[in-house]
């Protein structure tokens, strides 16, 4: 049991590490060494990372891999993916190659609308509130003109401000439900600044609104915040080919494989337990590119899962059909992304990753990321309906196990060859390494 600390954030980085390792680790010296081993040798680069958050002590690395050969609307992409889970990049690359040979991916952005809300309490007559709202609508725009000026130059801004009566759900609860176009920015700061300004205008103007009673003049703003639910900021990505060309392996006919794929997706549409895992596999691809491009994966996750449940039951984000001898597989999902602002200019690797993707607009990035999700799902479901995932998964996991067991390079090479023809299990790997070290 340690004692609490006050003023931790004011300590130097070294003092923080000393305090932390002394109070919370068994071997402070070894822990300090480990923490320092993950510092970047370039002190400016380290400082940059230190400044991203508070109380930074070191960096937690994530591998950055590349999945090449993504043919999207006739352009070839090599997609950077930041992810720790083995087999995700390999699966994406495999699916990319498979579909490159069958015409590639086609994508369309269906909408780019972002949302924010001012949640408030009004005690009084709704008709009066509506009249008041209509009377200040222009002022809401005028008061936020200083915030929208540069966004307007880029073709974005406030799309609509709407008054919503939510009193059926909660007594005296109303909203300003606002929509925005934020072009290449994810737009969180822009939206939140606009909303806070709307809230101020909404509250202050009420005092001088003669038709309001004294009580009605007291509008209580509860909060002003963007919504990560963006059902009109949606992208669609699809692949298709004649069923006869859907040859995944010599062990299964293309017709049977197509049917199994369609049935697996149908199950994910009606069965939430399966849908969650099905969509998790999609997010393996989505999050990896979202992270690599410096976007907010928590926002994406929250929005995507809400969208998957929009019809009242959690369901698959992908769809599949066989029609007139053609197999079609597609995804539709909301992605609120930015390619300017946030980490995009700050983090050198994020900058590089965006360059690798040919510095896409946010609309282009939506399409690339939707494709990564669709490819990932295709790879996962194809394995599931044919060989099962453990075969490929454990092969990829082999290196992690060998590292954990402290195998050297020669041992790793020998065991990778050995496990090309043997089943990978934890026990099997540890026994094989032991056998290599101490042949009986």
Q: Which residue do the tokens 């005092």 mark?
A: 207
CB of 83 to ligand MEV, least distance (A): 10
**Least separation in angstroms between CB 261 and ligand MEV:** 12
349 vs 384 by CB, closer to ligand MEV = 384
Task: Give the angle 204-209-215 at the CA atoms, nearest 5°.
Answer: 80
Complex with ligand MEV: residue 21 or 284, whichever CB lies closer:
284
The rounded distance, in Å, linking the Cα atoms of 175 and 340 is 30
**Residue 423 contacts ligand MEV per CB under 6 A:** no
Sign of torsion over alpha carbons 207, 213, 218, 219 = negative
Active site residue 332: no
Give the shortest CB-387-to-ligand MEV separation in angstroms: 12
Total residues at the site for ligand MEV (CB under 6 A)? Answer: 10
Of 304, 292, 156, the residue nearest 235 (C-alpha): 304
Q: For residues 335 and 385, which CB has a smaller minimum distance to ligand MEV in the complex?
A: 385
Rounded to an integer, what distance in angstroms lies between the CA atom of residue 319 and that of residue 303? 19
In whole angstroms, the minimum distance from the beta carbon of 423 to ligand MEV comes to 18
**Of residues 3-42, those binding ligand MEV (CB under 6 A):** none
The nearer residue to ligand MEV, 225 or 396, going by C-beta atoms, is: 396
Would residue 280 show up in a list of annotated catalytic residues for this protein?
yes
Q: Please report, for residues 170, 188, 198, the alpha-carbon distance to residue 147 in angstroms, rounded to integers and kept in the order given.
A: 32, 13, 11
Q: Considering beta carbons, is residue 277 or 413 the nearer one to ligand MEV?
A: 277
Identity of the residue, 129 or 379, whose beta carbon is nearer to ligand MEV in the bound complex: 379
Between CA 19 and CA 10 the distance in angstroms is: 13
Cβ contact 113:159 at 8 Å: yes
- Shortest Cβ 376–ligand MEV spacing (Å): 8
Per the annotation, the verdict on 305 as an active-site residue is: no
Q: Which is nearer to ligand MEV, 199 or 283 (CB)?
A: 283
Catalytic pick from 177, 280, 351, 418? Answer: 280
Which residue's Cβ lies closest to ligand MEV?
A: 281
Q: Which one from 143, 196, 205, 296 is the annotated catalytic residue?
A: 296
Residue 212 CB, nearest approach to ligand MEV (Å): 55
Cβ atoms of 294 and 276 closer than 8 Å? no
Q: Contacts with ligand MEV in 266-325 (CB under 6 A)?
A: 277-278, 280-281, 284
Q: Minimum distance between the CB of residue 277 and ligand MEV, rounded to whole angstroms?
A: 4
CB of 274 to ligand MEV, least distance (A): 8
| Alpha-carbon span 40 to 59, nearest angstrom | 8
Cα four-point dihedral sign 77, 98, 386, 308: positive
Q: What is the DSSP string of 275-344?
A: HHHHHHHHHHHHHHHHHHTT--HHHHHHHHHHHHTTTSS---SEEEEEETTEEEEEEEEE----SBSGGG
> What's the gap between Cα 428 and its chain centre?
36
319 is catalytic: no
Choose between 18 and 85: whose C-beta lies nearer to ligand MEV: 85
Helix pair angle (390-404, 88-100), 10° resolution: 140
User: Who contacts 138 (Cβ-Cβ below 8 Å, separation ≥6)?
Assistant: none
Measured in Å, how far apart are the chain's first and last C-alpha atoms? 48
Cβ proximity to ligand MEV, 83 vs 357, nearer residue: 83
Q: Which of 13, 49, 85, 141 is catalytic?
A: 85
Quick one: three-class SS letters along 71-89? EECCEEEEEEEECCCCCHH
Which residues in the 348-407 window bind ligand MEV by CB under 6 A?
A: 380-381, 384, 389
Alpha-carbon gap, residue 145 to 224, rounded angstroms: 18
Q: CA 392 to CA 415: how far, in whole Å? A: 16
Q: Kindly identify the residues of this chain, within the stretch 58-97, that bind ligand MEV according to CB under 6 A.
A: 85
Query: How would DSSP label each residue in 393-405?
Result: HHHHHHHHHHHHT
Three-state DSSP class for residue 125: coil
Query: CB of 293: closest distance to ligand MEV in angstroms?
Result: 21
Binding mask 147-186 for ligand MEV (x = CB under 6 A): ----------------------------------------
The tokens describing 43, both together, are 């002190």
Residues annotated catalytic, as ranges: 85, 280, 296, 393
- Contact positions toward ligand MEV, by CB under 6 A? 85, 277-278, 280-281, 284, 380-381, 384, 389
């Amino acid at each position: 049991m340690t004692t609490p600390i006050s003023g931790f954030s004011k300590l130097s980085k070294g003092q923080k590490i000393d305090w932390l390792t002394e109070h919370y680790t068994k071997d402070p010296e070894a822990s300090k060494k480990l923490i320092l081993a993950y510092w970047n040798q370039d002190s400016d680069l380290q400082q940059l990372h230190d400044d991203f958050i508070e109380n930074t002590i070191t960096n937690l690395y994530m591998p950055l891999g590349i999945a090449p050969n993504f043919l999207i609307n006739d352009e070839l992409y090599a997609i950077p993916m930041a992810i720790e889970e083995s087999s995700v990049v390999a699966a994406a690359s495999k699916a990319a190659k498979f579909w490159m040979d069958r015409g590639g991916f086609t994508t369309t952005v269906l909408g780019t609308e972002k949302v924010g809300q001012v949640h408030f309490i009004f005690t009084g007559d709704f008709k009066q509130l509506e009249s008041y709202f209509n009377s200040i609508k222009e002022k809401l725009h005028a008061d936020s003109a200083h915030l929208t000026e540069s966004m307007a130059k880029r073709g974005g801004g406030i799309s609509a401000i709407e008054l919503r009566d939510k009193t059926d759900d909660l007594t005296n609860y109303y909203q300003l439900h606002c929509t925005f176009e934020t072009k290449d920015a994810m737009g969180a700061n822009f939206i939140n600044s606009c909303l806070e300004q709307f809230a101020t205008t909404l509250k202050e103007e009420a005092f001088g609104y003669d038709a309001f009673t004294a009580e009605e003049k007291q509008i209580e703003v509860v909060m002003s915040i963007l919504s990560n639910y963006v059902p009109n900021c949606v992208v669609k990505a699809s692949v298709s080919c004649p069923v006869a060309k859907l040859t995944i392996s010599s062990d299964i006919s293309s017709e049977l494989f197509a049917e199994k794929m369609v049935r697996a997706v149908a199950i994910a549409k009606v069965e939430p337990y399966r849908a969650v895992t099905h969509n998790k596999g999609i997010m393996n691809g989505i999050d990896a590119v979202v992270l690599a491009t410096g976007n907010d994966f928590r926002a994406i996750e929250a929005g995507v899962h809400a969208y998957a449940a929009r019809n009242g039951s959690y369901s698959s984000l992908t769809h599949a059909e066989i029609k007139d001898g053609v197999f079609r597989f597609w995804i539709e999902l909301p992605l609120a992304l930015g390619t300017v602002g946030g980490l995009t200019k700050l983090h050198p690797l994020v900058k590089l990753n965006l360059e690798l993707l040919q510095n896409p607009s946010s609309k282009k990035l939506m399409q690339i990321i939707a494709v990564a999700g669709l490819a990932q799902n295709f790879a996962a479901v194809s394995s599931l309906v044919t060989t099962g995932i453990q075969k490929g998964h454990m092969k990829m996991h082999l290196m992690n196990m060998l590292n954990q067991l402290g195998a050297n390079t020669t041992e790793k090479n020998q065991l990778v060859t050995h496990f090309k023809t043997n089943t990978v299990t934890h026990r099997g790997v540890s026994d094989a390494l032991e056998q290599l070290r101490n042949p009986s």
